[in-house]
Chains A and B, each alone.
Chain A
């Protein structure tokens, strides 16, 4: 009943997320109970890197969610496809690869907890951006982006000691 388990949990989250009062988190699309798109903004209007920017997260759920972590990454989008007519890019961050793959322990197999949900993950990513002032990509970004053929959740990162 793993599939029913996941669908039940997601059907619980959906109306809440739709009515969410968390500032800077917007449900953009929930076409089905397998892939949701969320737009996030850093609420600090003076932030040197992210002020005024909106970034798009793609959540993919397996039938074992929430026992298993969702696959979460940043994705690009053209201006025409967005509600505010602004394009979505991949935020510059020492733990976000230029292909959108995120190195965050709570999304990793060992760091995930089934008590997390879409909103809590979105908020974690929001604060991960808010706390960063380095205008840089992870070390080895170019090589990783060129060679990685694994899905985000199958990549095993060694987590950095700092703010990751």
Chain B
């Protein structure tokens, strides 16, 4: 589940005096949704994703229970909360707007100083002309000071940033070849981390260095987290049994078996991802999300296309550079439109801010069907190198 941060992007830092924050922010974003991590979890191969993203990936018909980044196989049950990353994301997001504004201010300030400095210098020269019998040394000095002031602020801060970066690099170097536990920070050989992680009982963990008193926004979960749901073997359940199961879970139980299986999978992903969050949502909130998901499963794609046609870029007379210039504002307005919509709809229903910008998939029903090997088109010689086979035959 993506965090609600508009369309912010790590590249927002580029062009500011703190451009070095770009890779830091990129590191705080999930490789699947490209948003800031929401309820980040650590995989068995030590990669981090949003709990919801990796669970969706693992439970999609396409997935083969492998890490999307390194293809290491693992089970959903091996996912562990990555609490420190969650804290980092939260604190970074809280500070982001301020630092960015500061960055812009420093940049604009430097620019203004250059401009006003230039102007003042001109004034001084003009002033000096009538007194051509002798320009006072004081004035000359103030001019030189001006000059240095013009250049110094940005270059000084850059220098400091550089020095600090170098210091950090030295600090982070692992001289002992050990790694830190992502939860308690204890140093240990890399191979031990996973066994060690299991010793952390989720609720008793206190994070050294980050005490709750320093985190004013932290809200303790108001209600007990819903217990994570196990997988169901849909093929072993009858339609009636599955319907009963959904009723017990308190989620809609209409539709055929396939619809109910899909709904249960989505519900399980929502509930289990929610249990990885430090600020879990309430069941009514999750039910609303399930309802939103359900609507995107059934609706057709009219909603977006009508709006989108005005952003059509015809490829006639395509010229890349000009096109970039001419259409940059189109994309800006596309983004602006999406933002406004998200804002407008969040006023009406804060829990469903993105409904209006939905691209729905009219073919989702067929696409989520497990692929059947019996559908081979006729006429393909099975001896051919390009024979058509089921997924199961693919070992690599």
Contact = CB atoms under 8 A, between A and B. Distances in A.
Interface string A134-151: 000011100110111110
A110 B62 contact: yes
Contacts of B327: 18
Given A11-B335, A61-B359, A158-B394, A67 B57 contact: yes
A63 B301 CA distance: 10
Contacts of B239: none
Interface in A8-38: 8-16, 18-19, 26-34, 37
A5 interface: yes
A40 to B, nearest CB: 13
The B interface is mostly helix, strand or loop, or mixed, namely loop
Contacts of B60: 64, 67-68
Interface stretch (B102-110, B214-222, B315-323): B315-323
Interface of B: 1-2, 7, 9, 11, 31-35, 53, 56-57, 60-64, 68-69, 71, 289, 292-293, 296-297, 299, 301, 304-305, 308-309, 311-320, 324, 327-328, 331, 334-335, 338, 354-355, 357-361, 363-364, 367-368, 371, 373, 375, 377-381, 384-391, 393-394, 396
Interface of A: 1-16, 18-19, 26-34, 37, 61-64, 66-69, 80-84, 103, 109-110, 112-115, 138-140, 143-144, 146-150, 153-160
12 contacts: A1-B292, A2-B297, A2-B361, A7-B354, A11-B334, A18-B324, A30-B313, A80-B316, A140-B381, A140-B386, A147-B378, A149-B377
Given A2-B364, A12-B9, A113-B68, 17 more contacts: A7-B354, A8-B354, A8-B357, A14-B331, A14-B334, A18-B324, A26-B320, A28-B313, A32-B304, A32-B309, A62-B364, A64-B60, A68-B367, A144-B386, A146-B379, A156-B371, A156-B388
